[in-house]
A and B are shown apart, each in its own frame.
Chain A
Amino acid sequence: MAQDLNYLKETPSQTAGPYVHIGLAPGAAGFDIYREELGWDIAGPNARGERIRVEGRVIDGTGSPIKDVLLEAWQANSEGIYAHPEHQGEVEDGFRGWGRVITDFDTGEWGFDTVKPGATPGRNGTTQAPHITLWIVARGINLGLNTRLYFDDETEANAADPVINLIEWERRRATLLAKRGERDGQIVYRFDIKIQGEDETVFFDI
């Protein structure tokens, strides 16, 4: 027997269950308790850049929308700076870069308003195409699923993105592209996430 390395083990994950809203979005569970719920405003009022809406559904292996999902988003500002002490650079006052939304109980639609992020530094001097990191939890999901939303109008940047290029099955890369459109004068990116089956979204072990 060798010496014990003495590292602790990460606390094992468990599903968020069907009532995740009570803790993380109590208003949606049907009651008002906190002065302010967290995560409803990613970018804040002062953020520069293009205002966009990102929306979609999360689809299960039977093709049905999942109606009890909670999603969190993490992104840089329009200049590609994360609101975190390890990323040097200023973000606008009120820009947190993090958001939390739930799916509609009837339709399974989710959406959040934000600004389009800028390109961020990758490893070894590379540049990552603009993207939003998404984390998905729900009943039936034992460990939160990580994915990335990229923008379909960033063709050149996406082609050079080091993470997209890690996906050797080129056909699967398209599952990470949100489709740009417009509704009532607002830019809307559509991003449906397929948990399982045909055109299953690429998930990452980060």
Chain B
Amino acid sequence: MTKPAEFYQRDRRWHPPALDERYKTSVARSPQYAPISLENSLSEITGPVFGHNDIDAIDNDLLSNYAQPGQSPIGERIIVHGRVLDENARPVPNTLVEIWQANAGGRYRHKKDTYLAPIDPNFGGCGRTLTDENGYYYFRTVKPGAYPWRNWVNDWRPAHIHISVFGSGFAQRLITQLYFEGDPLIAKCPIVNTIPDPKAVDQLIAALDMNATIPLDTIAYKFDIVLRGRRSTLFENRLEGN
């Protein structure tokens, strides 16, 4: 058996805590006991493997993956691109990245969303792709709109895209949200503010990337994703299974 090497300990002061009463739903949905910390075994080091048979090439193009032929969603045409890296700055190749978002008016195509902004008939709002051998990924979509939500009575989510990433082991499994550079709602959002360290918030803000923008066509934002790094065993003094 290949010798398991562990992922670096997750920094739980960098991530949001389970309980933040300003994000009201977390009050009844947060464990009261501390989690039990495990040294990684094969159960945590391994994780699902996906391939190009699982998805279609068009899945990463939200401008066309739900549009009628010849039609396009309404909204600001954007590219979201970047790399999936680990904490050692090594690329994470061939990993599944999934995204979902509201349309340009802040309305989700979801039967539970009753916000009065209209559905866009040419926009589904989800996409998925595999990173390439350099950990690179890209999507094409419209920039989502802000929307109100029932937390405090006048809370509005900043424009955001939800992102789900797998990595190579189940211990790297992560869901997060991408925000856009310069959005004044970011600082006011109770969900963003569950993150204690302002530098950690900065890590969720995609930068306007004029170099990747296609002139007269599509504006671009860059968003790198960092998953947990993995230890290289420098000194091996246990023979089996470490």
Contacts and interface: CB of A to CB of B under 8 A. Distances in A.
A30 to B, nearest CB: 4
Contact of B38 (A10, A126, A204): A204
A143 B173 CA distance: 10
Contacts of B203: 9, 11-12
B26 A86 contact: no
A128 interface: yes
A174 interface: no
B112 A61 contact: no
Contact of A20 (B40, B162, B225, B228): B162
Interface in B203-221: 203-204
Contacts of A64: 28
Nearest to B204: A12
A87 B124 contact: no
Given A12-B195, A19-B108, A23-B98, A143 B16 contact: yes
B23 interface: yes
Contacts of A196: 28-32
Interface in B31-61: 31-33, 35-50, 54-56, 59
Given A12-B15, A16-B175, A29-B109, A122 B241 contact: yes
B187 interface: no
A99 B146 CA distance: 32
B152 interface: no
Interface in A176-202: 195-197, 200-202
A145 B31 contact: yes
Contacts, number: 281
B131 interface: no
Given A11-B174, A72-B173, A163 B38 contact: yes
Contacts of A138: 29
B117 interface: no
A120 B43 contact: yes
A98 B59 CA distance: 21
Contacts of A9: 11, 14, 87, 199-200, 203, 226
Nearest to B199: A9
Interface string B181-210: 000000000011011000111011000000
A18 interface: yes
A49 interface: no
B87 A7 contact: yes
Contacts of B124: 22, 26, 31, 33
B122 interface: no
A122 B41 contact: yes
A84 B241 contact: no
Interface residues of B, number: 93
Contact of B16 (A13, A167, A197): A13
Interface string A40-81: 000000000000000000001110101010001010100000
Contacts of B194: 14-15, 142
B242 A205 contact: no
A74 to B, nearest CB: 5
Residue picked from B59, B89, B170, B199, most chain A C-beta under 10 Å: B170
Nearest to A132: B43
Nearest to B196: A12
Given A23-B162, A88-B1, A196-B28, 18 more contacts: A7-B87, A14-B16, A14-B204, A17-B162, A19-B110, A24-B98, A31-B66, A33-B65, A34-B59, A38-B55, A60-B29, A61-B28, A142-B20, A163-B38, A196-B32, A203-B31, A204-B37, A205-B38
Interface of A: 6-24, 26, 29-31, 33-36, 38, 60-62, 64, 66, 68, 72, 74, 76, 82-88, 96-98, 105, 120-126, 128, 131, 133, 135, 137-146, 148, 162-163, 166-167, 172, 195-197, 200-206
13 contacts: A7-B229, A8-B85, A11-B225, A16-B162, A19-B113, A24-B98, A74-B46, A87-B1, A87-B42, A96-B48, A143-B18, A167-B36, A205-B12
